[in-house]
Amino acid sequence: MASAASTEQASAGLPGSFDIPAAPILIPEGPWKVIEGGVTAPAGFKAQGMYAGLRAKGDKADLALVVSDTPAVAAGAFTLNVMAAAPVTLCREVLAAHETVRGASDPFLVMSTGVIGRRVDADALSAALPVLAAGLGAGAGHALRAAVAITTTDLASKSAALEVELAPGRTVRLGGMCKGSGMIHPNMATMLGVVTCDAPVAAAVWRPALAAACAASFNQITVDGDTSTNDTVLGLANGAAGGAAIGDPNSPEARALGAALTVLLQGLAKSIAWDGEGATMLLECTARGARSDADARRVARSVVGSSLVKSAMFGHDPNWGRIAAAAGYSGVDYRQEDVRISLGDTELMRGGQPLDFDAAAASAYMKAAAAAHGTVTIEVSIGDGPGVGQAWGCDLSYDYVKINAVHDVSCEDGHAGIEDVASILDESEQDAVIQELAAQSARARRQTQLCVTPLGACLALLYLYFAGQALVDPWSIRHHAELRDVLRPLAIAAGDLGSSIAVAAGTWAVAAYCNQSEHQGRAILRPAVVLATLMAVFWSLGILKMLRLRGFVLDGAWRMFWLPAAPAVWTLITLSVINTVGAVERDLRALRAARYRFRHI
């Protein structure tokens, strides 16, 4: 990851906000070394990103440029959606006509993303490109800015680089960046990727290597099952590392390069699934025992692509049935009795039959992964064949629906929520709404404290006085005297004391809530509700027993009905007050969260 200093230095003089975290690098250990630098880690590549005014709102960087110092062998993989976007068509035509590109002059390759059907502002693009080209650099900060500039609904930028020894004394570097968060499904899906490499490699080797690497990486991720119109992965190899060109696809050097390319793209692909819209965990499914790797990949892809499996993962439900069903409809032929399924270290099924596993431990495993935004591993074995394949996805959460329900919101039906409002206001308007809600919340808290706290304190003290009087002179208070035939003085004192504590606790809960301690307020309120309920039951039973003995006497009965009613009614009042004040707070929190999210779209 680039340092803050290098990023700031690279940012000098170029407009745009780059306030977005970086996704974790998910490349496993192997005969390669993970390094910093992204797409500029290989020799002979420069990059940059900036804000060009192409976004509908905000000033987040929205234009990136990657250039090779010398012509680079180019390869590409594209969406299989028949409604391919114009940049996809252009790139296909360029690659069909040219083996090499450079990126700053013809031939060049273009990628774009965003709301389907909206045209790019050509004037803004033309004005920004010379500025962007002038700011090109080979530093890690330049690569990071480019990685940020290609993001849309992503909550994190995604880039990685590695160094690999192809032969003794011959080392090359590969770097990559990508974007993607929603509309991710096999055959890529709103997903853009750029890979750079400084190895000298022939097009006949480089292009099949990129295709194979994409098949085992980007085509094995899924977030929501939608395949986009703009999916593109471009690979550029400029040979700046020197040495003899790699021309034989079966040579050890070609195989080592292909393996490094695959693991780099798999790391980037996993970061996309990790950053799936609304996701709380990364799902990694490994399928084994298939007749071929292709069959194994189909099974794994089917499992992580299942909406029911995704929902079960979000609910921390170790539902082996959904996993088995998803593998079964993958289209791969196998015998049910050969199936074995594991979730993390817990084996759920063996020999096609469910096991008596520890469901609580399996659920805890998923909860821990969700808490850390970590990885949940699923393994499905379908036989004893040599095929092995992996696929990656994420769970399906409530937030995914929220994010995509307001992707291009117009609120014409008049039923917009607070997040919807955030999506159609500019940043200054959002700030104004946040300030107004904060002021409303402060006023509500202050007024609530002034009204509720004194009343609650008085009621609690009144009950406390009654409790003391019941011990000193039991029947001097009229409502105590009415109960002399059914309750002892000590029981009456205990009832008055319990009611006093219940009312005081409810009042304390409101005071804590109004002093910005919501967690403490709700924690106090729970025992207050329980105690108030017990006191209401206690007094009600006493009154019922008295009525059975003496019959209903209006003159005495009305004085006692407030005994069970007061703590119960007061607790209901405190609940209502907290929920009313909390409604403003919930809107305020939702708007602040939406303000952050839409700022980064």
Residue 69 and residue 46 in contact, taking contact as beta carbons nearer than 8 Å = yes
Residue 173 and residue 261 in contact, taking contact as beta carbons nearer than 8 Å = no
Residue 118, amino acid: R
**pLDDT the model gives residue 517:** 65
**pLDDT the model gives residue 64:** 95
Residue 6 has pLDDT above 70, yes or no: no
Q: For residue 518, is it within any domain? A: no
**Residues contacting 170, CB < 8 A, separation 6+:** 241, 243, 253
The CA distance from 305 to 311, in Å, is 11
Domain boundary among 251, 276, 301: 276
Q: Assess whether 317 and 265 both reside in one domain.
A: no
Domain boundary among 220, 255, 276: 276
The CA distance from 370 to 364, in Å, is 10
**Residues contacting 280, CB < 8 A, separation 6+:** 314, 370, 373, 394, 395, 397
Identify the band that residue 112 occupies on the pLDDT scale cut at 50, 70 and 90.
confident
**pLDDT the model gives residue 409:** 37
Q: Which domain holds residue 296?
A: 283-406
Identify the band that residue 532 occupies on the pLDDT scale cut at 50, 70 and 90.
confident
Q: Tell me the whole-structure pTM to 2 decimals.
A: 0.65
3-class DSSP assignment, residue 387: strand
Domain boundary among 350, 371, 406: 406
Q: Name the binding residues.
A: 152, 179, 190, 277, 404
Q: Assess whether 24 and 59 both reside in one domain.
A: yes
**pLDDT the model gives residue 601:** 40
100 is catalytic: no
The CA distance from 187 to 199, in Å, is 27
Q: Assess whether 328 and 249 both reside in one domain.
A: no
Token pair of 307 as six digits: 């909406």
Token pair of 529 as six digits: 């509700």
Express each pLDDT in 496-518 by its tens digit.
Answer: 888 888 888 878 877 776 665 66
Burial code (b: 16+ CB inside 10 Å, e: under 16) for 173-185 equals bbbbbbbbbbbbb
User: For 160-182, what is the mean pLDDT?
Assistant: 93
359: domain CATH number is: 3.10.20.340
Q: Where are the beta strands (DSSP E) in 208-359?
A: 232-237, 282-289, 340-343, 346-350, 353-354
Q: Give helix then strand counts, H and E, for the chain.
A: 17, 15
**pLDDT the model gives residue 488:** 81
Q: For residue 562, is it within any domain? A: no
Q: Assess whether 130 and 70 both reside in one domain.
A: yes
Q: Assess whether 364 and 231 both reside in one domain.
A: no
Q: For residue 88, is it within any domain? A: yes
DSSP string, 119-185: PP-HHHHHHHHHHHHHT-B-SHHHHHHHHHHT-SS-SSBEEEEEEEEEETTEEEEEEEEEE-SSS--
Q: Assess whether 135 and 119 both reside in one domain.
A: yes
Q: Assess whether 83 and 201 both reside in one domain.
A: yes
Q: Name the binding residues for substrate.
A: 152, 179, 190, 277, 404
Token pair of 176 as six digits: 């990559």
Catalytic residue from among 7, 79, 153, 190: 190
Number of domains in the chain: 2
Identify the band that residue 492 occupies on the pLDDT scale cut at 50, 70 and 90.
confident
Determine which of 43-47, 308-312, 423-427, 564-568 has the lowest per-residue pLDDT on average: 423-427
Determine which of 268-277, 410-419, 424-433 has the lowest per-residue pLDDT on average: 410-419
- DSSP 8-state code for residue 495: H
Q: Please state, rounded to an integer, the average pLDDT across all residues of the chain.
A: 82
Rounded to 10 degrees, what is the CA torsion of 206, 209, 214, 216? -170
